[in-house]
Amino acid sequence: MIKKRLYLGLLAGAMVLFAALSCYLWLSFFQHDLGFVRYLIFFAVLIILGGLAVIIVGFAGIIFSLLSEHDFAWLQKPINFTVSILYPVVIWIGRMCKIAQEKIQSSFVEVNNQLIKAKRGKLSPDRLLVLLPHCLQITDCTKRITVTTDNCARCGRCPVGGILNLCDSYGCHVQIATGGTLARDAVKKLRPQAVVAVACERDLTSGILDCIPLPVLGVTNLRPHGPCFNTQVNLLEVENALRFFTA
């Protein structure tokens, strides 16, 4: 829970910032006679307060889901709205507090995964998509697996073969993407009901936000040689994610 508290704390800070903005607009402008501008400010404050009300409900839904490990379907839209709207503000507040963005993104992925795991319901394996980054493939491999995973020799020199074996045994789709655009194209083409994504914290965060409201369970890759170079992944974590959606 400690790791999740970072994102949740920054999320609460973003809510306070929205409330402070509403008070500032009210006290600084609306109480003065500014003619027509006064009414524009009034409507702006109403819009901000309306958005803040939805955000408060969404934040409460996140907390309730995390604590109870239970999904509240009727709170899903406010939760998605809160996550989407406030994420840039959360990153900005973290930057002001000199918190590393990777730590915030890692906390965000943890919160997202916990929210996904609070959901119930089994999927047909053919409606599950596994997205992999091309950096899992060892750099001196001559097989072009971004074109088709059938080219993979499954020699065991990198984690790709092991993941493909898992996907074959579970019967789910797998796509290796060289970037966010190809990943989004794969989602649009296959129209899965859920996604298991392996990537770094940055790419997982952007992918989760892009796919809302589609459930995305993120598995953070390991980078013993640095980012985007011969990365690794815990195959047990990948299998646990597949089992969650299909078992």
User: How do residues 145-193 score in pLDDT, each as one tens digit?
Assistant: 988 899 999 999 999 999 999 999 999 999 998 887 888 888 999 999 9
One domain for residues 153 and 113 = no
Last residue of a domain, one of 81, 100, 117: 117
One domain for residues 148 and 42 = no
One domain for residues 134 and 28 = no
Contact 197, 217 (CB under 8 A): yes
pLDDT, residue 107, reads 96
Per-residue pLDDT tens over the stretch 35-73 = 666 677 777 778 888 888 999 999 999 999 999 988 888
More confident residue, 235 or 146: 235
pLDDT, residue 181, reads 80
**pLDDT at residue 5 above 70?**
yes
pLDDT, residue 21, reads 80
One domain for residues 228 and 148 = yes
Instruction: Identify the band that residue 32 occupies on the pLDDT scale cut at 50, 70 and 90.
Output: low
Ranking 3-7, 29-33, 169-173, 243-247 by mean pLDDT, the lowest is 29-33
pLDDT, residue 218, reads 96
**pLDDT at residue 198 above 80?**
yes
pLDDT, residue 45, reads 76
- Contacts of residues 47-56 at CB distance under 8 Å and 24 or more positions apart, as own/partner, are 48/18, 48/21, 48/22, 49/22, 51/18, 51/85, 52/15, 52/18, 52/19, 52/22, 54/78, 54/81, 54/82, 55/15, 55/18, 55/81, 55/82, 55/85, 55/86, 56/15
Instruction: Identify the band that residue 24 occupies on the pLDDT scale cut at 50, 70 and 90.
Output: confident
Question: Range of 87's domain?
Answer: 2-117
Instruction: Catalogue the E-assigned strands of 112-185.
Output: 128-133, 173-177
Which tokens hold the place of 17? 């910032």
Last residue of a domain, one of 66, 90, 117: 117
Instruction: Identify the band that residue 22 occupies on the pLDDT scale cut at 50, 70 and 90.
Output: confident
One domain for residues 143 and 82 = no
CATH number of 184's domain: 3.40.50
Cα(160)–Cα(138) distance, rounded to whole angstroms? 9
Cα(231)–Cα(134) distance, rounded to whole angstroms? 9
Instruction: Identify the band that residue 122 occupies on the pLDDT scale cut at 50, 70 and 90.
Output: confident
Total domain count for the chain? 2
Mean pLDDT computed over every residue of the chain? 90
Last residue of a domain, one of 97, 117, 137: 117
